Amino acid sequence: MEAFDLLVIGGGINGAAIARDAAGRGLKVLLVEKDDLASHTSSASSKLIHGGLRYLEQRAFRLVRESLHEREVLLETAPHIVRPLRFVMPAAPGGRPWWILRVGLFLYGVLAGKSRLPRPGPAGADEIALGAPLKGKPRLATYWDAWVDDSRLTILNAVDAAEHSAEIATRTELLTARREGSEWAAQLSGGRNVRAAMIVNAAGPWVAQVLGRRLGSASESGVRLVRGIHVAVPRLYEGDHAYILQNRDGRVVFALPYGALTLVGTTDSQVAAPEDARVETDEVAYLCAAVNAYFVRQAAPQDVRWSYAGVRALYDDGAASAKDVTRDYHLELDEGGGPKLLSVFGGKLTTARALAEEALDKLGVKQPRWTAGAPLPGGDLSPEFDEWLAGIAAWLPAATSARLRTAYGTRLTRMLNNAASAADLGRDFGGGLSEAELRYLAAEEFARTAEDVLWRRSKLGLVLDGQEQRAVADFMASARAA
Ligand SMILES: Cc1cc2nc3c(=O)[nH]c(=O)nc-3n(C[C@H](O)[C@H](O)[C@H](O)COP(=O)(O)OP(=O)(O)OC[C@H]3O[C@@H](n4cnc5c(N)ncnc54)[C@H](O)[C@@H]3O)c2cc1C
C-alpha cells in the first residue's frame, strides 16, 4: 500500500495551500478532493483579498493585521490573478457616524503598515464622479483592498503543490481512515487504499462530518455553517472601483465591478448542511434592495444574470447572530496517542497561505517556511514577458491576450507553445477559448469537464452559448477518453 507523509482532505483554498507548503518542504503529499478543485466555497466568495474593514467592529485586530499583511504577499506573488481594487464608502443616514468611519479607516491604514496601496482617506478630486451613480450627494471616503480570481488562486496552489511532487487526486473521496499503529490507513473512492503519517482535514463545510463520520473522531470544536450568496446584474455604475454599502440591518454589502456586470454580495444565513449552498429568492430580493437604496440605476431579481451561493464553515465562538461569528480560523490538533490529525475550521482566501504555515508548525514540520516570497505559477510577470506578449499582438486578439495574461501570467508561454498564428491554437470554441487552452488545462491544471473549464479555470460560462458549451464538453470527454 502506498505511503505518504501527509494526506490532505479537501481541494479548496485551505487544502491546496497546505499541500503546496508541505510539498515544498519535502513532504510526500497526497491531496484528495471529492469533486473538482475549488468546486465549493473557494469559488463562491466575494473574491476579495482584504483585511476586512468590518472585522474591526468585532475587534478582530489579529485577523485584520494578518490579512492586510497577506494582501501585500499576494499582490507580490500572484500579480496576474490579484489586482488592487479601490473601494468607495458612502455615508448613510442612520448608519455608522461619519467620525466612526474615519477612525475605522485610519486604523485600517495603520494596521496595514507599509503597503504598496494608497492610504485610506477622503474621496478627493474625483468625489463628484464617484458619487454620480449614487442617490443624493452622500459624503464619501475611499480605501484600497484587492480583487482575486478565487478559484484560480486555489488551482494555482494545487498546481504548485504538484510541481513540488504532491499528488493531486480530484474526483477522489476520502471514505474512511483509521489509526493503525503510527500511521493512518485510509480508504479512498475508486478502491484505492493508502497509508499516511499525518492527516489534514480541510473539508471546509464538511469538516465536522469528515471528523465524525469518516475519521471516527468527536471534534471538540463546533462549526457554524453560514451561507452567503452573490448576484451579478447589468452594471449599476461605470468604472473599475467598488462600493461598500451600509445596509439598514447593520451589515455591509459590496457592489463590485465584474466585466459588463456588477457583482453584489453577500448575505449571512445560518444553514443546517453543506449541501444547502443554494440561492434563495428572498436573498436575491435582499441584495437588490440593498443596492437599490443607494444607486440611481436599479436592480430587480429578473435582471440577475448569474448567481451563486457558498457555505462558510465558521468556528463556533458562541456569537448570537451569523454575521457576528468570528471569521478568524481555528486549527485543532488531535494527536490521539498516535498519528496526527489536524482540522481546519474557518479561514479566508486571504489568509490561506499564513494558515498553511501555522498548520505545518502545529504538525511539527521542521523544514523552513518558504511560500512568502515564492510566486504562484505564472506570477513572475516581467517587462520581458509583456514585450513577448506585445510581439504576438498581430495574431492574438487584444481581448483574448488580456484575459489569458490575467489568468495564466507567464505560463502563457507554455500554453501557446511557440504558436505563430491563431490557426496554431486549433479550434476556437468561442470567447477566445482555443483547443490549445483546453489541452493545457487538462494537462497542467487538472481540468476534466466543461464545468471545470468554464466556471473554475475561467468564467467563460458567462460568455459561451449553450451550443459552444456543449462543444467544450464533447472535447473534454474525448480528451479524457484518449
Ligand atoms: C459568501 C462568501 C464570501 C466570501 N468572501 C471572501 C472574500 O471576499 N475574501 C476571502 O478572503 N474569503 C472569503 N470567503 C471565505 C473563503 O471563501 C473560505 O474561507 C474558503 O474558500 C474556505 O476554503 P476551504 O478550503 O476551507 O473550503 P472549500 O473551498 O469548501 O473546500 C473544501 C473541499 O473539501 C472537499 N471535501 C469535503 N469532504 C471531502 C471528502 N470526504 N473527501 C475529499 N474531499 C472532500 C469539498 O468537496 C471541498 O471542495 C467567503 C466565503 C463565503 C461563503
2-19 pLDDT, tens digit each: 999 999 999 999 999 999
Ligand 1 contact, 37 CB (< 6 A):
no
Comparing 102-116, 208-222, 449-463, the range with the smallest average pLDDT is 208-222
| Per-residue pLDDT tens over the stretch 333-360 | 998 778 999 999 999 999 999 999 999 9
Q: Is 214 in the pocket of ligand 1 (CB under 6 A)?
A: yes
- Where residue 286 falls among pLDDT bands split at 50, 70, 90? very high
User: 142: Cβ below 6 Å to ligand 1?
Assistant: no
Structure pTM?
A: 0.97
What is the number of other CB atoms lying within 10 angstroms of the CB of residue 354?
Answer: 21
Q: For the chain, what percent of residues have pLDDT higher than 70?
A: 97
Looking at per-residue pLDDT, the higher value among 1 and 289 belongs to 289
Contact 201, 215 (CB under 8 A): yes
Which atom from ligand 1 is nearest to the alpha carbon of 210? 41
For ligand 1, is residue 86 a contact (CB within 6 Å)? no
Average pLDDT of every residue of the chain: 94
**Mean of pLDDT values over 232-247:** 96
Residue 114: phi, psi to the nearest 5? -75, 115
**44 C-alpha vs ligand 1 centroid, how far in Å?**
8
Query: 456 pLDDT exceeds 80?
Result: yes
Which residue's entry shows cell 489568468?
407
More confident residue, 44 or 59: 44
Ligand 1 centroid–CA 57 distance in Å is 24
In angstroms, rounded to a whole number, what is the distance separating the alpha carbons of residues 313 and 471?
Answer: 36
User: Is residue 198 very low, low, confident or very high in pLDDT (cuts 50, 70, 90)?
Assistant: very high
- Please choose, from the candidates 211, 218, 205, 224, the residue with its C-alpha nearest in 3D space to the C-alpha of residue 174: 211
Closest CA to 475 of 443, 419, 429, 444: 429
* Average pLDDT rounded to a whole number, residues 405-417: 96
Beta strands 330-334; 193-201: pairing state: unpaired
Regarding beta strands 2-9 and 29-32, do their DSSP bridges make them parallel or antiparallel, or are they unpaired?
parallel
pLDDT for 61-86, tens place per residue? 889 999 999 999 999 999 999 999 99
User: Does 219 score more than 70 pLDDT?
Assistant: no
pLDDT for residue 54: 82
Closest C-alpha among 41, 40, 37 to residue 19: 37
Answer whether residue 155 shows pLDDT above 70.
yes
| Whole-number Å distance between alpha carbons of 312 and 107 | 27
